[in-house]
Amino acid sequence: MGSNRSKLAPRTFTAQGLGRVAQPYGDIVPPIHPSSTFERAPDGSFPAGRIYSRADNPTYDGPEAVLASLEGAAAALLFGSGQAAAAAVFQALAPGDRVLAPRNMYWGFRNWLSGYMASWGLVVEFYDNASIDDLAAKLRAKPARLVWIETPANPTWEVTDIAAASEIARKAGALVAVDSTCATPVLTQPLALGAHLVMHSATKYLNGHSDVVAGALASAADDDMWQRIRQVRASGGAVLGPFEAWLLARGMRTLFLRVAAACANAQAIAERFERHPKVSHVLYPGLKSHPGHAVAARQMQGGFGAMLSLRIAGGEAAAKAFTARLAVFKRATSLGSVESLAEHRASVEGPNTMCPPDLVRLSVGVEDARDLIADIEQALG
Ligand SMILES: Cc1ncc(COP(=O)(O)O)c(C=O)c1O
């Protein structure tokens, strides 16, 4: 663990892309490497260690190294999407393995797990992510190969205690992987809390500008599991294009500024609407009233994230009408970008949603908080 730690503060090395300068011209901004293939030396070797871009591309080196440093990881890998990164973890397991995943989690991945992975032969069971006792009981009942954690969990923002979950999972011989997309490496470092793997939809905060779909994994150890994951990427081919990797590297340089500004806005919005008569609940770990607040305060530093959900008094119709009246918040899916987005989440997730019908999910951006608050106020009527 920690082999890639930089002596500089994370905000410094992230802003500077680890201070790497590309030769021979001394580029401060790293070049893009569009080549899909690399020349062999006459003796048949590959002097620079690169063979073919389905396995690896030099444009990944910078963002992977920054992410590994931020997460205190032995190594990191970029993927063509967050889903592809998460999928690679499960594809590196074997049919028959039992895995435990949170009951409330990003619905797209929940569907993939209970559909494709179940038919591939993984035994997928779900635990209550607000209850460590439930996870412990499920680990005692039968051996599990892997525990998947998502915290705060999309879109209801339950908080899982990563240190406590990792301790009981490790004692039970299970690997722990954390979808830390919404916590971001700025606020939480799951590997330092005991997890083996951390995953990000880099589409969100890491890139931060709604113009790249990407994913990433980082691992505490360069072990057999990591090598299998690397192999899944190389042979499965869920790789990121070099241009997207370059855009991601550019977005990552402002990660700390964006996350701090968005968290401050989200906290202000949550506090402003917590007792609003037209809002029945504000779901946000930064509020003292949130059941996961104490754990979040321990494992998140510098903010509680920039995702929150409002449950609108008046139910589904009122929630949809509220969403329709928003003007500064744009009605769109996704999250983690500089512009604020809102969506009536159950409509997006479809018939098998576990999301309350009165819930509107807000991805809070970096705009002036007064404009965002005024927009919500006018939309509540
Ligand atoms: C928490 C979380 N994890 C994973 C994903 C999947 O990422 P991607 O859309 O980059 O495949 C998403 C997408 O919304 C997400 O919100």
Beta-carbon contacts of residue 343 (< 8 Å; ≥ 6 apart): 323, 331, 332, 333, 360, 361
Q: Please give the angle made by the CA atoms of 350, 352 and 353, to the nearest 5 degrees.
A: 70
Residue 179 CA to ligand 1 centre (angstroms): 9
Q: What is the pLDDT of residues 75-99, one digit of tens each?
A: 999 999 999 999 999 999 999 999 9
Residue 107 CA to ligand 1 centre (angstroms): 9
d(CA 317, CA 8): 51
Q: Do 61 and 17 touch, CB atoms closer than 8 A?
A: no
Q: What is the pLDDT of residues 299-315, one digit of tens each?
A: 999 999 999 999 999 99
84 Cα nearest atom in ligand 1 = 11
Mean pLDDT of the 207-220 span: 98
Mean pLDDT of the 260-267 span: 98
Residue 212 CA to ligand 1 centre (angstroms): 12
Choose the residue to mutate in 112, 203, 308, 345 for probing ligand 1, maximizing ligand atoms within 8 Å of C-beta: 203
Q: Which residues are catalytic?
A: 54, 106, 179, 204
Q: What is the pLDDT of residues 301-354, one digit of tens each?
A: 999 999 999 999 999 999 999 999 999 999 999 999 999 999 999 999 988 898
Q: Does residue 181 line the site of ligand 1, with CB under 6 A?
A: yes
* Residue 153, φ and ψ in degrees, nearest 5: -95, 130
Choose the residue to mutate in 200, 204, 362 for probing ligand 1, maximizing ligand atoms within 8 Å of C-beta: 204
Average pLDDT, the chain: 96
Tokens (6 digits) for 341: 């987005």
pTM over 0.85: yes
Q: Please give the angle made by the CA atoms of 228, 233 and 238, to the nearest 5 degrees.
A: 155
Q: Is 358 helix (H, G, I), strand (E, B) or coil?
A: coil
Whole-number Cα distances in Å, 130 to 161, 165, 323, 361: 9, 11, 28, 19
Choose the residue to mutate in 157, 182, 201 for probing ligand 1, maximizing ligand atoms within 8 Å of C-beta: 201
Structure letter (DSSP) for residue 117: I
Residue 89 CA to ligand 1 centre (angstroms): 15
105 Cα nearest atom in ligand 1 = 1
Nearest CA to ligand 1 atom 9: 82
Q: With CA atoms as reference, report the closest residue to 249 among 36, 76, 122, 103.
A: 76
150 Cα nearest atom in ligand 1 = 1
Q: Does residue 146 line the site of ligand 1, with CB under 6 A?
A: no
215 Cα nearest atom in ligand 1 = 10
Q: Does residue 203 line the site of ligand 1, with CB under 6 A?
A: yes
Q: What is the pLDDT of residues 127-178, one digit of tens each?
A: 999 899 999 999 999 999 999 999 999 999 999 999 999 999 999 999 999 9
Q: Does residue 64 line the site of ligand 1, with CB under 6 A?
A: no
